[in-house]
């Protein structure tokens, strides 16, 4: 293991009934006015909204509601929330939802005290947070992004067609309430998309240097096996609490920075999907399911050592009689087979991409990370899109 500094400031309360048990006491640490951030209204259907509002009322909080956060939160939506929070003198941002809602809440919390263009300062390029964001708490209703235990927020600037993620430790939620029962009402397809997003986060970290044995890769291999096991169980029985609770914590572990220690990370598949999403608004997890096998077939020979370990340690493919490169490709094909098994999309056409979608323009807008085994060019990215189509 190489040298590192680790930080994660979020306090997690995990388990059935945790919101009812802990939220009221947590609210005492913050001021009078709470900005309640949520999405399209599903929390009003499943009862979570009423529960949270009752606790807020009992705590004597004044609630300002900010609803309608979309699956790919836009910069315009963030600014709308910033204006509301400033006008109402909000003292706590409370995001109730999945990754998009949490990300929007982080962006609002960062922007409210900031005197400047928050996109140019913190998303167009990596910035330096020299001010104190508003306090943020999150109540997780859908797992996958791991946003509850990091400072990352994915925001889409529709004006320039850029969807990007920045992770600032100062934006970590102060607390995260994670009740797996809240995820049971999530539609099956959304659950599968979120689960595959978690698997993607782990793979994006795992398939990068160093190649020598290390603790981060050991943890990543265990997490990948767990996600595969639990996605299969939840796909068979969406009401399986044990599988859903495992998926919830696996998603958190994928993005709480633990497995990134000592790692270069790749995230090239994410960069490709983000720009597809910026142009087409496709589901993030679904887009990743399409891209990953095609991308990995292209690079697995360059990262044969790691891909061969993936085949043997994650998928249980017998090593005997197979060379390293053969094993590497077998691991990728096992992943592709798993995607088909779950019924996830395998082509961009299934995501609504058509002949009129400007794939070359999208490819030219994709940031090249250079952290994994691919070292792609923009021409490579376009070819991957074309194969995915």
Q: In the CATH hierarchy, which fold is given to the domain comprising 187-388?
A: Dehydroquinate synthase-like, alpha domain (1.20.1090)
Range 11-182 has CATH code 3.40.50.1970:
yes
| pLDDT single digits (tens) 132-172 | 999 999 999 999 999 999 999 999 999 999 999 999 999 99
| pLDDT single digits (tens) 348-359 | 999 999 999 999
* Confidence label for 7 from pLDDT (cuts 50, 70 and 90): confident
Determine the Cα–Cα distance for residues 323 and 325; give it in Å rounded to an integer.
Answer: 6
User: What pLDDT is attached to residue 1?
Assistant: 86
| Residue-range domain boundaries for the chain | 11-182, 187-388
With CA atoms as reference, report the closest residue to 143 among 114, 177, 169. Answer: 177
| pLDDT single digits (tens) 82-128 | 999 999 999 999 999 999 999 999 999 999 999 999 999 999 999 99
Tell how far CA 198 is from the center of its chain: 7
| pLDDT single digits (tens) 166-207 | 999 999 999 999 999 999 999 999 999 999 999 999 999 999
* Confidence label for 13 from pLDDT (cuts 50, 70 and 90): very high
| pLDDT single digits (tens) 214-254 | 999 999 999 999 999 999 999 999 999 999 999 999 999 99
User: What pLDDT is attached to residue 270?
Assistant: 97
Tell how far CA 259 is from the center of its chain: 15
Only one residue has tokens 């209703």, namely 141
Determine the Cα–Cα distance for residues 92 and 298; give it in Å rounded to an integer.
Answer: 46
| pLDDT single digits (tens) 279-305 | 988 899 999 999 999 999 999 999 999
Share of the chain above pLDDT 70, in %: 100
pTM of the model: 0.96
Question: What are the angstrom distances between the C-alpha of 117 and each of 78, 143, 170, 358?
Answer: 12, 31, 18, 29
Mean pLDDT computed over every residue of the chain: 96
Burial of 262-275, coded b for 16+ CB within 10 Å and e otherwise, reads bbebbbbbbbbbbb
Question: What are the angstrom distances between the C-alpha of 382 and each of 242, 265, 281, 370?
Answer: 41, 22, 18, 16
Q: How many angstroms separate the first and last alpha carbons of the chain? A: 40
**pLDDT greater at residue 336 or residue 40:** 336
Residues with Cβ within 8 Å of 356's Cβ and at least 6 positions away in sequence, in order, are: none
Q: Which two tokens stand for residue 133?
A: 């964001």
Determine the Cα–Cα distance for residues 93 and 91; give it in Å rounded to an integer.
Answer: 7
């Amino acid at each position: 293991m190489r040298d590192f500094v680790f930080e994660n400031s979020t306090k997690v309360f995990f388990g059935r009934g945790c919101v009812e048990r802990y939220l009221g006491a947590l609210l005492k640490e913050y001021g009078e006015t709470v900005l309640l951030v949520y999405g399209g209204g599903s929390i009003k259907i499943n009862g979570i909204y009423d529960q949270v509002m009752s606790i807020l009322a009992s705590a004597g909080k004044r609630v300002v509601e900010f609803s309608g956060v979309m699956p790919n939160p836009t910069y315009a939506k963030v600014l709308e929330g910033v204006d509301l929070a400033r006008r109402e003198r909000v003292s706590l941002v409370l995001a109730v939802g999945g990754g998009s809602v949490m990300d929007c809440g982080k962006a609002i919390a960062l922007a409210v005290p900031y005197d400047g263009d928050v996109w140019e300062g913190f998303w167009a390029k990596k910035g330096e947070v020299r001010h104190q964001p508003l306090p943020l708490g999150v109540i997780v209703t859908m797992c996958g992004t791991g946003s509850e235990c990091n400072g990352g927020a994915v925001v889409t600037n529709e004006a320039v067609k850029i969807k990007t993620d920045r992770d600032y430790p100062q934006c970590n939620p102060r607390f995260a309430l994670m009740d797996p029962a809240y995820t049971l009402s999530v539609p099956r397809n959304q659950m599968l998309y979120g689960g595959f997003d978690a698997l993607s986060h782990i793979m994006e970290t795992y398939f990068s240097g160093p190649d020598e044995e290390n603790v981060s890769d050991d943890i990543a291999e265990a997490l990948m096996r767990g996600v595969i096991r639990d996605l299969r169980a939840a796909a068979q029985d969406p009401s399986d609490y044990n599988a859903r609770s495992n998926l919830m914590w696996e998603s958190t572990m994928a993005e709480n920075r633990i497995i990134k220690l000592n790692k270069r990370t790749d995230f090239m598949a994410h960069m490709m999907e983000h720009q597809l999403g910026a142009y087409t608004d496709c589901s993030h997890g679904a887009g990743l399911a399409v891209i990953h096998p095609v991308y990995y077939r292209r690079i697995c020979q360059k990262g044969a050592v790691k891909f061969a370990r993936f085949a043997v340690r994650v998928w249980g493919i017998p090593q005997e009689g197979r060379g390293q490169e053969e094993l590497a490709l077998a691991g990728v094909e096992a992943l592709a087979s798993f995607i088909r098994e779950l019924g996830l999309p395998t082509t961009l056409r299934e995501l609504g991409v058509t002949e009129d979608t400007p794939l070359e323009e999208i490819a030219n807008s994709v940031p090249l990370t250079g952290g994994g085994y691919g070292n792609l060019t923009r021409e490579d990215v376009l070819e991957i899109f074309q194969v995915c189509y």
